[in-house]
Structure 1
Amino acid sequence: MSDLHKLFLKRIKERENSSGLNTLSEDADSDIEESYHSEQMNNISPLYRTRNLGDDKANIEILEHLESEKNRLFPIQEKCYDPDSNISFQTYFSPPQGNNAPIFILHHGAGSSSMTFCKLTEALTKSNTAGNKVPGVFTFDARGHGNTESDKNINYSLSVLTRDCQFVLNSFLQKHVSDSSLFLVGHSLGGAVFTNCLVEQKVNSKNIRGLVMLDIVEETAVRALNSMPAFINKRPASFLSLQACIDWHIKEMHLLHNEESAKLSIPDLLNRKSSHYYWKTDLKETSPYWPSWFTKLSENFISCGSNVAKMLILSGHETLDTNLIVGQMQGKYQLVVFNNNPKVGHFLHEDISSQIAITLMDFVRRNDNPEDYMKNELGFIPKWGGKINR
């Protein structure tokens, strides 16, 4: 191995460690048998077998870009240790600017990480509420995901994920938040976790004003779980470069449509071991817990948090189940659908982050202080007792 190659490897390891990508030592190759490598190569998509790790410069550039954007968007990055579960949760916080500016609390879905919200965070923090207040954003990596440090044999049941969320949020609120209004935004499984948090009422805050679910409908989600084994089997076990994994998401599977966002979200899903990049989260390990994830989600979403405004944002027209149809007719939540756009998929907060940010900010303006919204933006003052019932 040349000195130049060693220097490249050293730089990659430094970048990966700082970005949460765990690496093995230079001697790790000797610990991995050739038969193992052959088996893994068979699991790599043929389109990406030729995209080898030789372009170390490209991997370094992707990691440096991720690290730079992560630090810019989330100036406060802390570990939150839970002694009961022995898990150290990685948290990210962009503080609000302005007295009592609202805070968005974001929760990612299964197999994802906090970095899926980078572009949404950027768009939100460029937005202003009344009085030029800039909203804050808080998010964290769930157990077994991202840069959260978890033990083996992880329990991914909804009840346990809910408890984790309650612990992290209560720790965050105790340390950072006073009177800011809070708006919970959960993507896919994250929406189910937040809904369950409100059902159990164990988050120590009376300032939760809103709950938003991104692209999740109970019946659709339950049906989708039936196809998950096929998806997992089709998913390459490893990639030879970060760009190869990005290309797989965008060009082969069409899971993402925004490469700028993918270059921030995808590298955070991978660990480098020897000459390959492997998934941090083994989705097969989550399969025993799938039945618990979305059971009674629609009913709970409609009924939870009597004083909490709700919104469901979908990437396309899905068949709403009975609870959601009745709830919409009764005005229990707002429904927003982004359809007729081939560039919008399940990760709509990545694909069209600016549009999602605009939708969320409008939701905040209408529900954080309804009286002011009606007076300042609609031009009239409510007459039924002067108060708006949320």
Structure 2
Amino acid sequence: MELRKNLLTNRLPPSIRGVGDNNMATSLQKKTSRKQQHDFSPSSWTKYFDKSEDVEIQKNKFRVYRSGTEGPILLLLHGGGYSALTWSLLNEELKSRVVCQTVAIDLRGHGNTITENDDDLSKDTLAGDIGHIVDKLYGDEAPPVVLVGHSMGGAIAVHAASGGLIRSLAGVCVIDVVEGTAMQALASMQSYLRGRPKNFRSIEHAIEWAFRSGHTRNLDAAKISMPGQLKNLLTGTIATNELTEEGIATAETCTFSNIETSTVDTILEEEDVDEELAKSKLKENHFKIPGPSSHNDVHDRQAPMYTWRIDLSKTESHWPGWFQGLSDLFLNHIQASKLLLLASINGLDTDLTVGQMQGKFQMQVLTRCGHAVQEDTPDQVADVLASFLLRNRLTTAHGDFNLSFPSC
């Protein structure tokens, strides 16, 4: 009888059991506390790449991040709005699987790259930049080069490869970009861009937004990738340059931690501030520059400190050129081995469906990831890429890495 009484008691609601509102409040506090356990502090790129350098081509300086000294070169091209640091986690996973060299590039108008015309993001200019960088780094002695591009970067990889701009081309991997679906998506792209926050009060706020909004579903990736996508409103400095090797922001940046999920919408509404107004307010000290604080302070009116490195809405004239004719170029004008990696099978258009059935390229569909496939599931992408390199006899495996087989 005593056992039955205890079982029945445990099934009753807290108020009936005599626990009362205090215990319910404690339970809510525990749930809130669990929400606040995320650490949104940024990470340094130095853990993931061996070095960075600026490749000078005429009056332009292209920032590249490099790892490895042996094996084929994987030339990593990020998507629009991202930076070379989007490849950080993938790079670490790849190095543990196969022998290879990696070169991740901040494309024109992105990251720490500085050019005479950052607004010229035409397919021919971007593809030409890639060819010039490879020639400058390796000359006539370049090892086999595999172009790996995500989204816009995947389109540019196809244009560079089909245009014969990479003399030692051995392979092309395109990540989550298909001509048909890309062209359809252009109509809603401006609406998507308007829906993003224009400014952020701190790097931490930007990382939190990226993670909670699904911009990247991997918090570790957001912590290393987001600083490369931001610039300081007052100084114009890329946020990556304000971090130490330990990833801690320097004194002029503002930091917040343990922000409740319920405050995110308020943060985004308050941060849609005119960039020029924000600069003037910062200079005049009319706004309080935030330092470390409790989450209660997020409702205070404070100046935004960071905005996007590139205003993608102003590049619209180049969007069609990136994607028009992409399927034909990928299928019929690239002689090297080809890999298409997608986040959804629904993204495949008719031409590519026929080409895949004819065995013209290898295709892999990954699940449980968003558009930023290389950030969301770096281990799975590394498995696919490593297997692609091994299957085409471009490298050798490290340790007991097992070759995976292509599948949908």
- C-alpha distance in 2, partners of 1:319/1:79? 36
The answer on 1:94 being equivalent to 2:122 is no
State the AA in 2 paired with 1:280. R
Change (3 A) 1:211 1:241: same
The answer on 1:159 being equivalent to 2:134 is no
The answer on 1:327 being equivalent to 2:361 is no
**Residue of structure 1 in register with 2:187 after alignment:** 226
In the alignment, structure 1 segments of 5+ residues that lack a partner are: 1-57, 129-133, 379-390
**Residue of structure 2 in register with 1:365 after alignment:** 390
**Residue of structure 2 in register with 1:110 after alignment:** 80
Deviations for 1:133-157, whole angstroms, at most 9, x for unmatched residues? Answer: x211111101110000134561111
Contact persistence 2:173–2:341 (CA under 8 A): yes
The answer on 1:80 being equivalent to 2:55 is yes
The alignment-based identity, stated in percent, is: 33
Alpha-carbon offset, residue 245 of structure 1: 1.1
State the AA in 2 paired with 1:188. S
State the AA in 2 paired with 1:243. E
Alpha-carbon offset, residue 179 of structure 1: 6.0
**Residue of structure 2 in register with 1:33 after alignment:** none
Contact persistence 1:127–1:135 (CA under 8 A): no
**Residue of structure 2 in register with 1:237 after alignment:** 198
The answer on 1:140 being equivalent to 2:105 is yes
Alpha-carbon offset, residue 111 of structure 1: 0.5
How many aligned positions are there? 291
Instruction: Select the residue among 219, 225, 228 that pairs with 1:265.
Output: 225
Contact persistence 1:209–1:368 (CA under 8 A): no
Aligned-pair RMSD on alpha carbons?
2.2
Instruction: Select the residue among 207, 210, 220 that pairs with 1:249.
Output: 210
- C-alpha distance in 1, partners of 2:347/2:118? 36
Alignment of 1:344-359 (within 5 A): 344-359=369-384
TM-score normalised per structure 1: 0.71
Deviations for 1:316-371, whole angstroms, at most 9, x for unmatched residues? Answer: 122422221221111000110113x2xx000011011011001100000111259x
Alignment of 1:288-303 (within 5 A): 288-303=317-332
* Structure 1 residue runs of 4 or more that deviate by more than 6 Å after TM superposition: none
Contact persistence 2:85–2:104 (CA under 8 A): no
State the AA in 1 paired with 2:89. K
Bigger Rg, which one = 2
Contact persistence 1:145–1:281 (CA under 8 A): yes
Deviations for 1:52-103, whole angstroms, at most 9, x for unmatched residues? Answer: xxxxxx99x62xx31xxx22332232111221xx321101111234xxx222
- C-alpha distance in 2, partners of 1:71/1:369? 27
Q: Could you say what secondary structure the match of 1:267 adopts?
A: helix
Contact persistence 1:220–1:318 (CA under 8 A): no
Change (3 A) 1:153 1:92: closer
TM-score normalised per structure 2: 0.68
Alignment of 1:29-48 (within 5 A): none
In the alignment, structure 2 segments of 5+ residues that lack a partner are: 1-38, 235-302, 404-408
Q: Could you say what secondary structure the match of 2:53 adopts?
A: strand
**Residue of structure 1 in register with 2:17 after alignment:** none
